[in-house]
Amino acid sequence: MDDPRETRKIAANWREYLAESKESFNVYRWAWREFVTASSRAWMKRGIAALLMLTALAMVEPWIVKTVIDGLVNRESGTVMIALGALLAAMVVSRVCQWRFDHCREISLGEDQGRLDVRASELFFGKSLGQHIHDTGLLN
């Protein structure tokens, strides 16, 4: 099932693999620098904060459920009511954090998509056709 058009050299050992990984990382870093705006990065940071809060709440919810069960076993109705209230509050805050993350992601992706269109056109039309033909082999 070898493709005769395949011209890539597959890494034969871990050093070649690391060199290829470094090259891929450099491409990602270039794309980050060229296509991601400062405003988008700020929205990404806000989204990550919401995601971290969401993760923390996801870890706290089982503990709250355990407290409800312990209260039921020990017949402590006050503990059960407080724990159920805490569980409800955790679920509401969790939903708000999920909404906030989705909101930040959408704004960030929207800004980046617009920047991608503009910057890709600038980079494409900044070169002559001959350069594009010459560089096509590197991209494939």
The per-residue pLDDT for 114 is 83
- What tokens does 102 get? 């989705």
The domain total for the chain is 1
Phi and psi at residue 8, to the nearest 5°: -70, 150
Position 6 in a domain: no
22 within domain boundaries: no
Give whole-number Cα distances, 57 to 5, 54, 62, 98, in Å.
51, 5, 9, 11
Q: Which tens digit of pLDDT belongs to each residue from 24-74?
A: 898 889 888 888 888 999 999 999 999 999 999 999 999 999 999 999 999
CB-CB contact of 65 with 87 (8 Å): yes
d(CA 22, CA 4): 27
Q: Is residue 8 part of a domain?
A: no
90 occurs within a structural domain:
yes
- pLDDT band of residue 82 (cuts 50, 70, 90) is very high
Cα 116 to Cα 35: distance, rounded to the nearest angstrom: 5
- In a domain, residue 122? The reply is yes
pLDDT for the residue 8: 72
Domain presence at residue 7: no
- Note whether residue 84 is domain-resident: yes
Residue 132: per-residue pLDDT: 58
pTM: 0.67
Q: What does the DSSP assignment read for 22-69?
A: HHHHHHHHHHHHHH--HHHHHHHHHHHHHHHHHHHHHHHHHHHHHHHH
Domain annotation covers residue 112: yes
Separation of alpha carbons 83 and 77, rounded Å: 10
d(CA 123, CA 130): 14
Give the residue numbers spanning the domain of 49: 38-139
Candidate from 23-32, 39-48, 91-100, 102-111 with smallest mean pLDDT: 23-32
In this prediction, residues 80-109 reach a mean pLDDT of 96
**Binning pLDDT at 50, 70 and 90, where does residue 138 land?**
low
Q: The tokens 């990382």 sit on which residue?
A: 25
